[in-house]
Every structure is written in structure tokens, then in C-alpha cells.
Structure 1
């Protein structure tokens, strides 16, 4: 069985043993952890640029800033689209081109573009939920792994660190904690990979190209159906009737 190394795609996850042997847990960890670092920066840049430009838009100097703010939103969203390539196909989007030159036309075109608005939603409104999701998954996964190797480090930290609160202050207790942690590894592994899949799916849904709800109907209508058979079949039917 071949492991799907793109968690952003829909599809079942492999069995626990195969999942642990694959690169999915580690690429998922990098993807989630990198958002914990980059997400707040992107949120701050986007929020400051948009708020300042819209506040100053009541003056003439704020009009060009609106174009700059839209550019900041697109650049930050593009970074997230590219980063999704860590766990899935890189996301692509279609932004409206500015067909007519002019500052006001540029402002109207950019801030009426659904792609820019979806970028803004992802970078601001979805920031906290995605940050919490990624943080919980990474803490569970890396914390579990830390307990797995507890016998190697518990003694070097006063009172066993966090394990001290659980009464782990000697080697037998550390080994017992390790045994329990090993049983939890598959669960936390699925948690971190599942969180990465969910985050990537949200990114692809919000930052990707808008889907056409009538695409399947158009495809069916464009393809030949059972009523459009070739000429020889029709003639054979006619001869059989005569």
C-alpha cells in the first residue's frame, strides 16, 4: 500500500504502523508549527495594513494605501498558498486583473475581487481557530514524544519537570510513563496529521480558485449521450424496422 503524502487531499489515512513509518507526521508537524510562527506575523501585517489604509481612506493619501493594503493581503495569502505545499498540492487562486488604469479603478477592482476578500477572511477571521487547532495538535504530538523518551531526561530537570506533577520522580515511574506514552503515540500521530489535513483543506477551500457549482452539469451536456449515436447505428435500426 502506498502512503498518500499529501494530507490536504481527501482520502483515508493509512494504518497506524504505516503512518508512523511514513513522513506524514513530520511534514504535518512542520506545517502546523510553521503556522504558529508565521500566522501571527501574517495576521499582524494584514490587520495593520487594512485598518490603517481604510482609516486614512477618508483623505486623498489613503486612496493609494488601499491598493497597497490589497497587495499586502495578496502577498500574505500567497505565502500561505505556497506553505500548503508542505502537506498538499500548492494552492492556486485567480485574482481579477486591473483592466483600466487609474487609482480609483484599481481600488474598486481589488477590493471587489472575491479572491482578495477570501484571502482577508483566511488571514484574519480564521487566524485564531487555526492557531488553536495547530497549537493543540503540536503540543499533544510533541508532548507525547517527549514522554516516550522520559527516562533519558526526567532526572536532569528539577522534580522531573512537568512529569513531577504526576509523581514521576524516579526511573521505574519514568519507564511506566513511557509505556503509557507509547500506547498513545498512534492516537497523537493521527491527531497531528488530521489537524494538518484539516488546516490544508481550509486553506485550499478559502484561498483556492472558486469552484463552479454547474461544472459537472456543463461537462455532462458537453459530452455525447446515449441519444447521439452514430449514423450507422441509426440506419441499422431503420432497416430492422422495415
Structure 2
């Protein structure tokens, strides 16, 4: 299997910094509350000084959404949505230990972190512009077709595992209790994103090792090395 960004995306968004983590042996029977709290505390301290809309990481994604022809206050990157919810409610809902800790890291870094169940992905993940024929499954089970030209996470079967780039993941490959093998992708657009995303990827791998005692495979996806090939565990 592999994950990569299409060349035209890298041409249009040269500021893109991306990293990926592949891990197996994930189970739901662990506790991550204290570990997640350490990350959410970082976000809390930042939000006490300035709203998430003024974070450079979020402003960069807003510019990216605008460049894609989307209203940045209508469609928000996943990190901004999480930060807004956390600021308003003071907490995030518990979903699955891996999702909970990844969401907490996304809050701390203000960087979108997508987590996919590899058992639900056919062949590969290409981050590319949609043709309009792909199928996206919502969390309620209904289906949609992404707009032609929209940035999606697509697999070999034509399933869109995320719409509007980092805006909304699909229910098809969402992590469940039975999930064991995952692909985690982090992407940033801000100045210094390459350093921040690399740190985030390392932190994700460290959390997988500490909580699940599993060694994750990691890679930075760059213009010179845009594709990460890996084995589905």
C-alpha cells in the first residue's frame, strides 16, 4: 500500500508539509486520559492568550481553503473545528483511545491529524483532486459524490476517505473497536510546518509505542519523496 499527494497539489501548494504513520496492534482496551490531558493542556494555554482563528497554523489552512474556492468560515480544517469545540466546551468527546490521543495532539499542534482504518482502504491513499465520480460515505451511512476538482483522500476503489482535504473524514474508514491497523496523516501549511509536522509524527509514533507497545513506521512526505510505501499489517 502507499500514501501520496498528487503532483498538481504540490505544485499548487508548495508550502504543504505532510507526514504519515502506519501502526498495527491497536486495541480499544487502554486508557489514554492522562496522556491526552497533557496535550490538551498545551492547547488550553494557547487559547487562553488568543483564539484559534489567530493561530498561524489555522490561518494558513484558511488561506488554503480560500485558494480552493471554499469559504474558510463555512468549511474549516479538522484542527480548527476541534479547537473551536474545545474552547467552547472545555473538552472533547471520547471516541476511541487512538482517536482521543490523536485529537489531543491535533489540539496541541493546531495541525489536522487524520486516522484511517487500513482494513477499509483499497490499495492506496492518493490525496488528489476528485473527478466527481468517487463515493463518500458519511457517518450516518448516506453517500455523497465529491465535487469535481475537490481535494479528497481517494483509494483504488474510488472511495473518498476525506472531503475538502482536511475538512471532513468518511465514516467508511473511521476507527472502530475492531480496528487494528491504521494510517495516520498529519498536514500543515504554515511557516515552520515541516518542523512541526515531523515533531508531531514522531510524537504519534511515541504514543503508539507507549500505549500499545507497537513500533510504528513513519515517513515525511516531501516534494522529492512524495510517496510512502508500506505493508498493511
Which structure features the higher share of helix residues?
1
User: Which has the greater radius of gyration?
Assistant: 1
Higher relative contact order (CA 8 A, sep 6+): 2
TM-score by shorter chain over 0.5:
no
